[in-house]
Amino acid sequence: GAVVSQHPSWVICKSGTSVKIECRSLDFQATTMFWYRQFPKQSLMLMATSNEGSKATYEQGVEKDKFLINHASLTLSTLTVTSAHPEDSSFYICSARDSGDFYNEQFFGPGTRLTVL
């Protein structure tokens, strides 16, 4: 099956620093990747849609200058949390859609736990 990896799986950083999270599709090409944020016991909240070679589309209320997304290749998208603050602490999940998939299925990465001190 299709595999999506995320790196790092967890990160702790100081307030004011920037953190980059990588999302890779390992065995398929993904023209579209998605970034979600999830709080404990809650649903996934879509932050942005990342399209290879073009600017990401952000959901309403998501600060594009704070959450920088780059989708430079068909297998890699990155999310950079700039000037992180404690309220940015959360679980971040990426997913990738197989360009050739008939079912519009998204394959999910294992997630990244971000803790900002």
Chain residues in the site for other proteins (CB under 8 A): 32, 34, 38, 41-44, 46, 49, 91, 93, 95, 97, 103-106, 108, 110-111
Which three-class secondary structure state does DSSP give residue 29?
A: coil
Nearest-approach distance from CB 74 to other proteins, in angstroms? 16
**Nearest to other proteins of 34, 67 (CB atom):** 34
112-116 and 106-108 strand pairing = unpaired
Nearest-approach distance from CB 54 to other proteins, in angstroms? 14
Nearest-approach distance from CB 3 to other proteins, in angstroms? 11
Nearest-approach distance from CB 114 to other proteins, in angstroms? 13
Q: How far apart are CA 16 and CA 31, in angstroms?
A: 32
Comparing CA positions, the residue from 103, 94, 84 lying closest to residue 14 is 84
17 touches 117 (CB < 8 A): no
**Nearest to other proteins of 36, 81 (CB atom):** 36
Comparing CA positions, the residue from 102, 106, 112 lying closest to residue 37 is 112
Task: Give the torsion through C-alpha atoms of 8, 13, 15, 17, to 10 deg.
Answer: -60
